[in-house]
Structure 1
């Protein structure tokens, strides 16, 4: 790889690798450019730490004449012998390179290199990708070339790490922003915020099915148990709802103590309201079964939990609301207020799933008319429906 080829590749990275529209394509094109410049690569790995509640990082693996593979690693990896006894542990922990020729007895220190040896690899180097904030990501490079990498080849490769690190950092920051918004405000809201919908009062009207639920007896529960235990119970409890909501097309907008607010957008297409409401009811049934199955042990006692969910459908105002520079991306409107009132009625009736007349009229779920109830703040009573196959809990 001569200086002219090296500069051309460096300029491509600095310019943002514009010919590659997503990370896997960038890794593939970068490696192919290096090979075309004379670097005899066999296997290349790119390992990037990310900011995600469940995922430690992501990895991209390139080999000649194959698609780049993408994978994720969870936080358990840090305690695994495979990672602790790998060159990458040194790169991530100390931010320095690790180079081993496979015929060097020192390479036996790393079990991973035994696998490389069986593939015919002759040389391995792991190089740090240092971010401007001091964080270290990692890359690994191998060859089957007899004699391994030359000093000139390694120096050329090292010189490309700073522009590669900047590109990885920028791409990772975008990914982090998307993940954090998805985690804290929801996917649809996050997409709107990233598109620039960030001004206070910037809202839109949405037709949606509304889900509002809470955990029965939460106040008494939090009064008699340590705060750490209550937090753990809430996490277990919300795990019973969030996957079901998301898997059926909903978006969780807010956790309010033990309460959960979610919306299921309804398109204008004919029949979409029936399809969406059927999905909402199925999510509610799945959540009910999951909560019923919780067996939470506190000392010698097995705790059982119950929750209630109110389902409604209507127009909501969806967008930025708040004061000064502190905003919340949420939904408001009479339909949301009615769902909140219905949820309280569900508690009084000892019902798990209740629905408004509007929701029950759209969704054929085998509903039982529970009667009309006055609704605080509303001018007329609302007819409430429960599932016919559900009996009030004692």
Structure 2
């Protein structure tokens, strides 16, 4: 295996593509400022390299991300592609043979560069499976470099060519000269994406857009009409006292998956998880918001029932839950102290939904809906009227409805 370091490459000789190299560097540093996505920048850079006479016909970027679902992502471009291909990798991929037996693993473990002439099969060094794949596709040379970000965060860029004889030393020097600028622009985009991902993960997609748009001052917000859903797990205190910690966390995650998936699929926004409960809204800007909420509850019932079947098979008790649903105007925005804010909803309508959830414990029905919601949903004839109930902190008793037919569990 040939090893080439940035130090030995240096810059291209004076007079070899100085204008083209400067144009690409200037483009990377100053002309990509309005481009949000690093995959588009990779495509643009590779096309400019080809125009400059550098025979790059394949390039990849490998990033480790802070995403709740994925450990990292690979961005792949090949000559002729107008858009890059993005592939994500699950947690645990770093333990697979595919990763451990790859040049990416070698770079991530400190190698300053990995190069392989694919048209010279007798060359010394590891013969990774990737090399055979590239050689079968007609590539003649491959090189990988680290992209070092702030605080020693290491990512990887690779280039390959199908040129007879592979990359020349001048080609490699040209590419190496771009690495600092590419590291800079990729770090900016990766951190922008990271900020958006973290906000979406912790406050939801709609709230994250509001925050990124500048809604960061205490008290900032808007009044919106929404169908409100509050859900709470039953007997969680007893479960958490008796079960091992890891089992409790696994149970909570499974329960939230069962509830959250249907809510998000049908246009609801989960604003927060509160211990063993959650708060979600379905904005009435969508005319189907109330119908979507009911469909989400129906699917969540099915998901919880399936989870309980598995719990029963494993010798665990089935889980109960309570859901309260109301509709009305809510204040949607920043609440909290001067230094610590929570993007949430407040208002009388939220209080009613919370009281209905608490009422499920008393009347032993797991899903209760207010008359106001049922009337707006247009399904009053399909639901069971349980009568009027006084709710703590609410002036007049309100009519309460439950799903007709059998519910998944008694509360």
Contact 2:144 2:157 in 1 (8 A): yes
Question: Which residue of 2 is the match for residue 367 of structure 1?
Answer: 383
Contact 2:36 2:189 in 1 (8 A): no
The yes-or-no answer on 1:41 pairing with 2:59 is no
Other structure's SS at 1:262 match:
strand
Q: Deviations over 1:67-102 (max 9, x none)?
A: 321221111221111111000111122252111111
The yes-or-no answer on 1:213 pairing with 2:228 is no
Contact 1:55 1:73 in 2 (8 A): yes
The yes-or-no answer on 1:150 pairing with 2:190 is no
Question: Which residue of 1 is the match for residue 68 of structure 2?
Answer: 53
Question: Which residue of 2 is the match for residue 141 of structure 1?
Answer: 159
TM-score of the aligned structures, taking structure 2 as reference length: 0.91
The yes-or-no answer on 1:15 pairing with 2:33 is no
**Stretch moving more, 362-371 or 202-211:** 362-371
Question: Which residue of 2 is the match for residue 393 of structure 1?
Answer: 410
> Aligned equivalents of 2:117 and 2:343: distance in 1?
54
The yes-or-no answer on 1:291 pairing with 2:304 is yes
Contact 2:62 2:72 in 1 (8 A): yes
**Stretch moving more, 83-92 or 95-104:** 95-104
Other structure's SS at 2:55 match:
coil
> Aligned equivalents of 2:320 and 2:88: distance in 1?
35
Deviation at 1:296, TM superposition (A): 5.0
Question: Which residue of 2 is the match for residue 328 of structure 1?
Answer: 342
Question: Which residue of 2 is the match for residue 94 of structure 1?
Answer: 110
Question: Which residue of 1 is the match for residue 394 of structure 2?
Answer: 378
Deviation at 1:338, TM superposition (A): 0.5
Q: CA RMSD in A?
A: 1.8
Deviation at 1:174, TM superposition (A): 0.4
Question: Which residue of 1 is the match for residue 366 of structure 2?
Answer: 352
Deviation at 1:216, TM superposition (A): 1.4
Deviation at 1:208, TM superposition (A): 0.4
> Aligned equivalents of 2:111 and 2:117: distance in 1?
20
Deviation at 1:23, TM superposition (A): 2.9
Question: Which residue of 2 is the match for residue 278 of structure 1?
Answer: 291
- Relative distance call for 1:298 and 1:372 in structure 2 (3 A) is closer
Other structure's SS at 1:30 match:
helix
Contact 1:288 1:352 in 2 (8 A): no
> Aligned equivalents of 1:298 and 1:352: distance in 2?
20
TM-score of the aligned structures, taking structure 1 as reference length: 0.94
Deviation at 1:368, TM superposition (A): 0.7
Contact 1:122 1:143 in 2 (8 A): yes
Q: Deviations over 1:243-294 (max 9, x none)?
A: 1111100111111111100011111xxxx44x11000000001111111111
Contact 1:95 1:130 in 2 (8 A): no
Runs of 4+ residues deviating >6 angstroms: none
Question: Which residue of 2 is the match for residue 130 of structure 1?
Answer: 148
Contact 2:312 2:318 in 1 (8 A): no
> Aligned equivalents of 1:331 and 1:188: distance in 2?
13
Q: Deviations over 1:17-65 (max 9, x none)?
A: 2475633321111000001111111211111211101111222111111
Q: Aligned ranges for residues 153-192 of structure 1 at < 5 Å? A: 153-192=171-210
Contact 1:185 1:329 in 2 (8 A): yes
Deviation at 1:8, TM superposition (A): 1.1
Question: Which residue of 2 is the match for residue 31 of structure 1?
Answer: 46
Contact 2:227 2:281 in 1 (8 A): yes
Instruction: Structure 1: give runs of 5+ residues left out of the alignment.
Output: none
Deviation at 1:349, TM superposition (A): 2.0
Between the two proteins, the alignment pairs up a number of residues equal to 389
> Aligned equivalents of 1:303 and 1:64: distance in 2?
57
- Relative distance call for 1:19 and 1:194 in structure 2 (3 A) is closer
> Aligned equivalents of 1:119 and 1:239: distance in 2?
42
Q: Deviations over 1:326-348 (max 9, x none)?
A: 11111100000110000011222
Contact 1:288 1:307 in 2 (8 A): no
